[in-house]
Amino acid sequence: MCQIFAGQEPGRYESQTRRLRLNGQSTSIRLERAFWRILDEIAAREGLSTPAFISKLHSEVLELRGEAPNFTSLLRCACTIHLGELDRDEPAARIAAE
């Protein structure tokens, strides 16, 4: 079982820093490449660039919570929520196609 996890390509979990603007402020976010790929996918589905999607998400968090104490962790968790939604949608899509 651990081979599935341990045997993954190192590039998948290599950190990558991207510079972007969050609500007008220049910043950088460092995430593993796998998370960036998922965020790129989510943004594309929303019809936004990745920086625009992340900025919108940041604004919504500030509106709901007043602060975003660990925003990179929030982004990682958003990715897991997205992957969970894909898993739930897959059987429904397969049944609908049959």
Q: Can you give the pTM of this predicted structure?
A: 0.82
Residue 7 lies in a domain: no
Give residue 5's pLDDT band: very low, low, confident or very high (50, 70, 90): confident
The domain that contains 24 carries what CATH number? Answer: 1.10.3990.20
Alpha-carbon span 89 to 49, nearest angstrom: 24
- For the cut 60, the answer to whether the pLDDT of residue 27 exceeds it is yes
Does residue 46 have a pLDDT over 90?
A: yes
In which domain, by residue range, is 51 found? Answer: 14-97
- Domains held by the chain: number: 1
The answer as to whether 93 is a domain residue is: yes
Mean pLDDT of the chain: 88
Going by the DSSP 8-state scheme, the letter that residue 49 receives in this structure is -
Most confident stretch, 1-10, 32-41, 61-70, 79-88: 32-41
Angle between helices 71-97 and 50-65 (to 10 degrees): 110
The answer as to whether 9 is a domain residue is: no
Assigned domain for 54 exists: yes
For residues 52 and 56, give the distance between their C-alpha atoms in angstroms, rounded to a whole number.
6
Gap between the Cα atoms of 96 and 31, Å rounded? 36
Task: Give 61 or 92, the one with higher predicted confidence.
Answer: 61
